[in-house]
Structure 1
């Protein structure tokens, strides 16, 4: 409804109300600018952060989408040029370094491959014990076997898995170590 001066009141007088009402539409716009959904969320967050700092200066609060679209484009362009939208300066930068998860992931993948190669009953026992946290009696009841069979199956399976892991580690260590070439006199 118009006020007596003929001006229409802004539908989004506050930033929080605007974000609540328009977040999904803005996220769809960001998703059209970048291929990765997580990057689209990062892009939108940084664009909204920049918009928040300028909210009082936006002249057309009846349609702030145009301003946010321009900020989305600018942030994406900055990223494309190499700035990256995750490079936001903070008062207190985080301490320490980020751990390298590649060795742990490789170890996990190696173990998963080994377990997937086990016979079904052994795989079930290992899964129920270590992933589901069941004890021998619970596993026995679920599989319809004796608890002693569960314990011996688990023991034998773990011995085989450990031996295979050690064999693979020693083979990897041998292939990684440099070989010495000797010069033989003939």
Structure 2
């Protein structure tokens, strides 16, 4: 038990051990059934974070592989959906970072996109920047806001997924919405240029 090598993640973020004889209720014991049941929700979250269905599908595949490898831990967790969503969130972040690193190595396009496409990207960038800042400042409010506003989940569903009450989900969504409004207006406008 004194060997800490290879156990760093377990010491930093330990997963609860399953209690003998207890199985989570309303959760299929088969990973494939669980994944089929939640795939649409997982995919919606991935598309809203990455904006491209192909990228979302690739990141979701990576997350599914990790979920499959950790299926026993997910089943033993007090809130299995929350753990699965945390795995998905980590894989989406990894995918985003990996593509950002590779962006510098790719060649630029020869044709410039039209202005309507650029305006759509600009508004998406403002939202992404504000959401990233909210994730840094208040992660629970960011999760609740994103699940409600971007994924169309009810406050009861959010509470179930995050292991909080419906009222707490509603409160965090409301606070997150107010902070998002402030953050979007506070972000610097890149179109104005230097003056």
TM range (shorter): 0.3 to 0.5
TM-score by length of 1: 0.37
Higher helix share: 2
TM-score by length of 2: 0.35
Q: Higher relative contact order at CA 8 Å, sep ≥6: structure 1 or structure 2? A: 2
